[in-house]
Every structure is written in structure tokens, then in C-alpha cells.
Amino acid sequence: MAYPDSTEIAYFASGCFWGTQYHFDKFPGVVETFVGYMGGRKENPTYEEVKTGDTGHVETIMVVYDPEKTTYRQLTKLFFETHDFTQIGGQGPDIGSQYRSVIFPGDDYQQTIAEEVMETLNAMGHPVATAMEPASVFWIAEEYHQKYYDKSNGTPYCHIYRKIF
């Protein structure tokens, strides 16, 4: 995965990674996305291991983006506009720690932006249940999970866009 030095990376988890990837792939300024796993205890976990909820990993998306065309703030807003960030312990019918809503900031700047967006949501009357955990090793998921909705000509069942900002 080699990209121009001008690109940046963001990590988000909002339930089933297929739906998260679906929306980010369509967003202007996004160069590429990958689904995978972050935050757990096991090296190189498989989907079969992660789906049990026993590894501590969260289904996560890696977003490679061009900061000249979009910002981390815009991506963070999209993250919140495409899932139920008030739900604890899963997303929609997908229940378990592996489906939690989590932002994984890669540095202090990303953490500050994420905190500001979360504060804005709270001030708007939207209680934010999303966790924030430092980015760690991103384990890319199996090929059959990548671009799942493109491959199946489907649309997300848990990730419906709704304008908030």
C-alpha cells in the first residue's frame, strides 16, 4: 500500500465495516479504503476470530485521503452521519464489542478534531457513545470483505446517511 506523501490516513469503526466502507468510498477526496481490524490482543486476526468478540478487535476502516481535497474534520462528520453513534455495544442488529463505534486518532491533531466534533454533537443534543482509542496496528481483512457492497451490488443495512451538520 504505497501512496503519495501528500495523503493522510484515518481510522474509523462504526459497526459492520462493509457499510462504513461503502460511504467513505463515495466521498470526495478519499483515495482508497480498506476494511480490517484494530484494537485487539491477537496478531493478524481472522474474521472468524474477530466475529466471536473474544480478540478485542473492532471492525475498522482505514481511509487514505488527500488533505487538499477533504479534511479530517469532514471525514469525521461523515463518520457520524452514517451510523447510530448513540448506540452502545454494537450497531443496529450487529451486537458485540467488535461492532462498537470507535474513532482511532493517529495523532494529537486528529484527536483534537474528533473531540471537537463530538462536543458539537453533544451540544446539538445528540448523546455520543462513540469511544476514542489511540490508533494501533491495523490488520487488513480478508479479500472477500474488501468493497463488499460493490462486489454484491448491495447497499448497507445499518449505515444510512443522514445529514446532521
Instruction: Mark whether 16 is an active-site residue.
Output: yes
Q: 77-107: buried (b, 16+ CB within 10 Å) or exposed (e) per residue? A: bbbbbbbbbebeebbbebebbbbbbbbbbee
Of 10, 13, 16, 113, catalytic: 16
Q: CA-to-CA distance for 164 and 98, rounded, in angstroms? A: 25
Q: What is the DSSP string of 54-98?
A: -S--EEEEEEEE-TTT--HHHHHHHHHHTS-TT-SSEETTEESGG
Grid coordinates in use for 25? 468510498
Active site residues: 16
